[in-house]
Amino acid sequence: MAFLVAHLPCNMAGPLNFYHHYNYKYQIGNHRNSALFSCIDHNLTQHMLSCKRQMCFASTVTCSASNKPSPSTDVSFTAKIRSEVLSPFRTVRMFFYLAFIASGALGGLIATTQLIAALANPSRAAEVAEILKGLGIDIGAATIFAFLYYRENKAKNVQVARLSREESLSNLKLRVGEKKIISVSSLRGVARLVICAGSVPFILESFKLSEPFTQSLLDRGVLVVPFATDGNLPGFEIDEGEEMKELPSKRKQLWQLAPVYVSEWSNWLDEQKKLAGVSPESPVYLSLRMDGRVRGSGVGYPPWNAFVAQLPPAKGLWSGLLDGMDGRVL
């Protein structure tokens, strides 16, 4: 009877009503049987309640586990695809490197067995030199192709990591004017962004230094993104005198962008500084190409005069032809 009680299912519907009917049915017997089944009824009820509590607890644990956020991948699928497009023959080279490594390793294994057999047989002592020569060639070939594969794989990982960081940058948000919010990727093919990240005095000084090059920078499609790392908002003072009516509007156009979701920008910049070995407090600038990739960066003020000298005009007869002269990707 105890065995039956222990192995009754704990997911039966309406256990209390069922067991009250069960107890009433057997109360027509003697007092001993009635007491026995009453005891069984009590034990079964307690067992059912315990099972229900365990089921509820298990359900709660399962829900908590399902709500746990999945770990984010460091490399996006888009970055891998872009890497394949930029280096279309890298996969082919790596495949042949692996094939040559396997061939050299197999040849070395065969040569090793032949060498052991030749050393064990004095009559084949003359073959040892030739076998050693072949073994050396196999080991050398496998080593060389292993080095080439390692170098190619390292270059691939570096490129994919850089593209992944650029993809993260393209997903950051910017405010244009008062209400419009866009992503950095929306400006691909439209503008060359220059990100100034630092304290408010650094940004204000960068703003002042860019004044003589305002028109030239706009002609080259440059737009500045000021990002204050100290949490304050820079207030740009623009002189709207009568003698310079057009300059204030152009200055506002050059510095019209503002970062949105500051924490995401801070995380991205902190990661770049850490990879470059730059102090988190150092003011930096980043210059993007027309296609949104990073073309230059440094510590300190942006070299506005260098941008004017190096970048081609964004409009005009030579604009499309010179789009690829934004600079080498870092």
For the chain, give the number of residues.
330
Each residue's pLDDT tens digit, 69-78: 333 345 567 7
3-class SS of residue 193: strand
Domain ranges of the chain: 2-57, 88-170, 174-325
Beta strand 257-260 pairing with 284-288:
unpaired
Q: Which amino acid is at 328?
A: R
Confidence at residue 57, expressed as pLDDT on a 0 to 100 scale: 32
Q: Which residues have a Cβ under 8 Å from the Cβ of 138 and sit 6 or more positions away?
A: 104, 105, 107, 108, 111
Residue-wise pLDDT tens digits, 109-154:
999 999 999 888 888 888 889 999 999 999 999 999 999 999 999 9
Tell me which architecture the domain covering 174-325 has in CATH. Answer: 3-Layer(aba) Sandwich (3.40)
Expressed in angstroms, the distance from the first to the final Cα of the chain is: 79
Residue range 208-235: mean pLDDT, rounded = 87
Q: Per the structure block, which two tokens stand in for 153?
A: 């794989």
pLDDT of residue 39: 42
pLDDT at 168: 86
Question: Would the pLDDT of 189 be above 90?
Answer: no
pLDDT score of 252: 85
pLDDT attached to residue 160? 85
CA atoms within 13 A on the CB side of 317: 0
Arithmetic mean of pLDDT, 232-247: 59
42-65 burial by CB neighbour count: b if 16+ within 10 A, else e?
Answer: eebeeebeebeeeeeeeeeeeeee
Which pLDDT tens digit goes with each residue over 77-95? 777 787 787 788 999 999 9
